[in-house]
């Protein structure tokens, strides 16, 4: 099964999504499964127990699709590449 075929038939885990990220340095694209957290606005008024600091949006890369199989991203990708992918996906999700 090719990655394109697998990408069409696989289903993400609950709360997760699939995405494709272009890696310009390698002229390639990676299919990844990720979880997006939209963050939270700061609440600086009201009772102290209801106040909270701002939490930035974030993306957690969970799996990468390799040879038709979802593999744990942290097992096969360098930390810097995972950070790059997370940043790109977070930018896409925020738009």
- pLDDT for position 61: 93
Sign of CA dihedral 27, 82, 94, 33: positive
Which backbone phi and psi does 72 adopt, to 5 degrees? -55, 125
Between vectors from CA 76 to CA 71 and to CA 78, what angle results, nearest 5°?
140
Contacts of 72 (CB under 8 A, 6+ apart): 62, 63
- pLDDT for position 54: 87
- pLDDT for position 12: 83
Whether 18 has a pLDDT exceeding 80, the answer reads yes
Give the residue-averaged pLDDT of 45-50: 86
How do the domains of the chain map onto residue ranges?
3-94
**2 band by pLDDT with thresholds 50, 70 and 90:** low
- Residue 55 DSSP class: B
Give the residue-averaged pLDDT of 70-94: 87
Distance CA 36, CA 85 (A): 12
């Amino acid at each position: 099964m090719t990655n394109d075929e697998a990408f069409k038939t696989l289903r993400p885990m609950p709360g997760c999504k699939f995405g494709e990220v272009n890696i310009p340095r390698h002229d390639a694209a990676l299919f990844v499964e990720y979880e997006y957290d939209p963050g939270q606005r700061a609440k600086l008024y009201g009772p102290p127990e209801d106040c909270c600091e701002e939490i930035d949006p974030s993306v957690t890369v969970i799996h990468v699709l390799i040879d038709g199989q979802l593999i744990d991203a942290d097992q096969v990708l360098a930390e810097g590449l995972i950070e790059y992918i997370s940043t790109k996906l977070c930018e896409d999700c925020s738009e």
